[in-house]
């Protein structure tokens, strides 16, 4: 097939470079396609698709005219300083100049993203030159998920492509699934990135992006030609495309929704090729190309406006008929259907909602700090309204509902953002502080649930007595919140091990959640009893009992203890007498890092399910420890070293760990590093390599890779006036380490000392708990200790060894 390039001068859009595949002198016997590329691409994206194996037969019987928008040819120079980059509307209108230059009468439009928008405008302006339109991820509204990124791109400084701009283009092109079922996807993404930095002129690309951001409403319902709309269910534009489709004439429009695909050209090229062929056959083209898996209905339908009496409107289209042998508007449509039933469209990743449940005093006070930080990060005021200063794209909720903060916030009809959170306590004191506090207008009143009696630091009272009075009402609120979600991902539960409500009611609720939402992820952030600071004498009882009762109902429990956080605040932040507010704000930074990939876009994000997949080698061993870096006080902000190597190294130091146990004495089974801000993957790999060479950081032999890395471009946000200094990068570590057995052993020892004397047991029995549960719980914790010991010893002998040099990073 021949390939030629032309430079076509237009009246208002300047010079357009055109690449032609195929012999246009044979256009009367071939299907002619006109393609326009998306942001971050040029003609090469469609040329590669046309050259793929699934397009061989179509390519042999077709011609392709690939458009490069101004300044987007390979290695193009900068556009002239006085050049006014055309709007999408003007680009679409002037495509007719290209057809006239090439002496092409009719084409089928094939465009992706911004290019689909351009071709749609061409179809509206020159319907007589189109046989049909194939639009991939077309955006019809001037307000879509893309507009959330407008400010960042308009303020794009200089000619170089920044990290945030690159991350956005990756998300725009591929959705959230950068590596999926397609084994070549990683290579495709790498090639896309390489082309961004090598062959594409970034200064000219910026002009195309701005033109797309400033696009006007697309009145696609006025289009007179047949449309095939294609989207992937993992594309960020899936919801936009489906919404647009609902408003169109279904007799002239077909919607193809491809499962497990973000970039359909990369993830499902064969399915796209099949749909293109079906569409062309419906227009009487490519009828000689075989189509496997198709039920061909040979009956032709009469087009609208046609007659059955020999007038042009009733004429039958026969095979081999050239374009000049019939009047284009009277083409007959061939009815064909694919045997495979495609699933309905699903919401994109950023709309996979998560419900947070805050239980007891510790859980609710930690929740206050966490939601305070979430609001700051998303630019949401205390009353739930988006702050006027919130112009970062990650902060803005798009009109189509595909906003990242939608995972944790629900947008109300009054344009307020309401947390998907439930706050529960057996007595009203702490919840009343929320009801009357600075964030009193933020939470939905129904999500603040209280009883009338305190649990009195008694597991049995919170689980059996008071808990039973609250559990049904709490589950009703949780079910209603879940029903308001389009695609519920799971639950985050915040509580303490030592309190009566935090231990007793949380374990009861965990059982109910497991019964009602068995397949949803259930993660916990738990305040572990401190070795030296004790808020209740029966804390060991409560901790052992709640661990036993919820062992099988939590997928992953992230542990922190107040003593470790207190020491960090005192020694590193120089807070003389840390309050719970100081401790909770520090813990909330770890929580924010855990959830950042669920709330903000990024090229190397971590899904909620990945935590349990990568941190829990065995269902019972699901207690990762947390660490955060850097912990920098305001006074030391100007003197701190924040290289990626230093940040990573600090995570493994005892004074940055949030649980008091010596991780150096144990072995790591898995380690998840969650980076945020200005992070370069190459530097991360170097930092991890240095960590692996440390003798103090040892992994069990049966763990083949060790590290799971997440990188999110959103910088950490610090509470104004708080203890922590603002930073431009940070990292949290979640580690499964056998050393946690030491913490369990100390807790069990305290339990044994009291239970040997049966001290305080009667308080638990009087609340409806059987005394045998003490023995069962202690036996379960002893088994947990053994599980960790076996993980470090026996499993190494049973499982095959893996050479560390052959191991790869996640």
- Do 465 and 451 meet the contact criterion of CB atoms below 8 Å apart? no
Asked whether 333 and 283 are in contact (CB, 8 A), the reply is yes
Residue 610 annotated in active site: yes
In the three-class reduction of DSSP (H, G, I as helix; E, B as strand; rest coil), residue 305 is classed as coil
Taking Cα atoms as reference points, which of 585, 556, 523, 810 lies closest to residue 716? 585
Task: Extract the tokens encoding 92.
Answer: 């679409």
State the CB neighbour count (10 A cutoff) for residue 204. Answer: 21
Beta strand 333-338 with 294-301 is: antiparallel
| CA distances to 460, 472, 570, 664 from 566, in Å | 29, 36, 6, 21
Pairwise CA distance, residues 583 & 369, whole Å = 9
Within 8 A by CB and 6+ apart from 288, the residues are 61, 319
CA nearest to 664, candidates 566, 567, 737, 590: 737
- CA dist., res. 187 & res. 234, Å (int): 19
Alpha-helical (H) ranges within 451-579 are 459-460, 466-483, 500, 506-516, 539-550, 562-571
Where are the extended beta strands (E) located within 650-777?
668-677, 707-712, 729-737
CA dist 135 and 115 (Å) reads 8
Per residue, the 3-state secondary structure of 22-67, as one string, reads: CCHHHHHHCEEEEEECCCCCCHHHHHHHHCCHHHHHHHHCEEEEEE
| Cα angle for residues 235, 241, 246 (degrees, 5° grid) | 145
Q: What distance in Å separates the CA atoms of residue 64 and residue 70, rounded to the nearest whole number?
A: 19
Catalytic pick among 15, 47, 48, 610: 610
What residues contact 190, with CB distance under 8 A and at least 6 apart? none
Q: Which 8-state DSSP code applies to residue 712?
A: E
Residues known to be catalytic: 610
């Amino acid at each position: 097939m021949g390939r030629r390039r032309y430079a076509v001068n237009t009246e208002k859009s300047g010079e357009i470079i055109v690449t032609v595949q195929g012999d246009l002198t044979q256009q009367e016997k071939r299907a002619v396609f006109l393609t326009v590329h998306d942001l971050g691409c040029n003609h090469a994206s469609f040329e590669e698709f046309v050259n793929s194996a699934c397009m061989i037969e179509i390519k042999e019987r077709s011609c392709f005219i690939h458009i490069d928008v101004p300044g987007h040819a390979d290695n193009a120079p900068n556009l002239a300083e006085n050049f006014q980059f055309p709007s999408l509307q003007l680009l679409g209108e002037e495509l007719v100049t290209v057809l006239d230059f090439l002496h092409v009468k009719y084409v089928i439009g094939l465009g992706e993203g911004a290019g689909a928008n351009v071709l749609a405008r061409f179809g509206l302006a020159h319907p007589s030159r189109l046989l049909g339109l194939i639009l991939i991820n077309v955006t019809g509204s001037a307000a879509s998920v893309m507009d959330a990124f407008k400010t960042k791109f308009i303020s794009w400084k200089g000619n170089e492509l920044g990290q945030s701009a690159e991350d956005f283009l990756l998300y725009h092109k591929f959705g959230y699934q950068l590596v999926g079922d397609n084994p070549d996807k990683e290579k495709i993404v790498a090639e896309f990135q390489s082309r961004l930095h090598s062959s594409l002129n970034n200064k000219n690309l910026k002009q195309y992006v701005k033109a797309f951001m400033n696009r006007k409403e697309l009145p696609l319902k006025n289009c007179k030609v047949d449309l095939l709309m294609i989207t992937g269910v993992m594309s960020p534009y899936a919801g936009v495309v489906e919404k647009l489709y609902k408003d169109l004439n279904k007799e002239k429009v077909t919607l193809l929704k491809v499962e497990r695909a973000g970039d359909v050209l990369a993830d499902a090229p064969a399915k796209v090729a099949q749909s293109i062929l079906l569409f062309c056959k419906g227009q009487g083209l490519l009828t000689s190309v075989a189509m496997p898996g198709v039920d061909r209905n040979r009956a032709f339908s009469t087009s609208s406006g046609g007659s059955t009496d020999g007038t042009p409107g009733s004429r039958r289209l026969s095979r081999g008929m050239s374009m000049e042998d019939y009047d284009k508007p009277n083409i007959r449509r061939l009815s064909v259907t694919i045997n495979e039933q495609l699933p309905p469209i699903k919401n994109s990743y950023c709309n996979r909602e998560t419900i947070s449940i805050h239980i007891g005093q510790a859980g609710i006070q930690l929740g206050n700090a966490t939601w305070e930080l979430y609001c700051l990060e998303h630019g949401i005021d205390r009353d739930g309204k988006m702050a006027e200063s919130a112009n970062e794209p990650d902060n803005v909720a798009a009109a189509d509902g595909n906003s990242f903060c939608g995972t944790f916030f629900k947008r109300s009809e009054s344009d307020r953002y309401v947390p998907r959170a439930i706050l529960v306590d057996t007595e009203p004191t702490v919840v009343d502080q929320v009801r009357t506090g600075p964030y009193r207008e933020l939470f939905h009143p129904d999500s603040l649930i209280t009883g009338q009696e305190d649990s009195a630091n008694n597991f049995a009272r919170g689980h059996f007595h008071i808990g039973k009075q609250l559990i049904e009402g709490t589950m009703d609120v949780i079910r209603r919140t879940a029903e308001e979600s389009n695609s519920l991902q799971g639950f985050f539960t915040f509580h303490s091990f030592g309190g009566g409500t935090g231990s007793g009611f949380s374990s009861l609720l965990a059982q109910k959640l497991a019964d009602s939402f068995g397949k949803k992820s259930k993660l916990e952030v738990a305040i572990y009893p401190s070795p030296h600071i004790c808020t209740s004498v029966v804390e060991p009882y409560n901790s052992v009992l709640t661990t036993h009762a919820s062992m099988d109902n939590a997928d992953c429990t992230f542990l922190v203890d107040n003593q470790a956080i207190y020491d960090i605040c005192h020694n590193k932040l120089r807070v003389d007498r840390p309050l719970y507010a100081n401790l909770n704000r520090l813990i909330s930074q770890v929580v924010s890092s855990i959830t950042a990939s669920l709330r903000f876009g990024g090229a190397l994000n971590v899904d909620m399910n990945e935590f349990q997949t990568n941190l829990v080698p065995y269902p019972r061993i699901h207690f990762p420890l947390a660490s955060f870096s850097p912990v920098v006080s305001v006074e030391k902000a100007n003197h701190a070293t924040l290289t990626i190597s230093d940040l990573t190294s600090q995570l493994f130091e005892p004074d940055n760990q949030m649980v008091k146990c010596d991780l150096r004495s144990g072995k790591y089974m898995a380690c998840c590093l969650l980076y945020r801000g200005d992070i370069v993957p190459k530097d991360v790999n170097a930092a991890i390599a240095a960590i692996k060479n440390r003798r103090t950081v040892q992994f069990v032999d049966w763990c083949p890779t060790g590290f799971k890395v997440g990188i999110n471009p959103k910088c950490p946000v610090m509470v104004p006036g708080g203890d922590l200094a603002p930073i431009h990068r940070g990292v949290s570590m979640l580690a499964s380490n056998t050393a946690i057995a030491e913490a369990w052993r100390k807790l069990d020892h305290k339990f044994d000392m009291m239970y040997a004397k049966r001290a305080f047991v009667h308080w638990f029995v009087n609340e409806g708990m059987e005394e045998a549960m003490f023995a069962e719980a202690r036996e379960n914790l002893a088994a947990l200790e053994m599980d960790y010991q076996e993980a470090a010893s026996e499993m190494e002998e049973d499982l095959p060894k893996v050479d560390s040099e052959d191991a790869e990073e996640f």
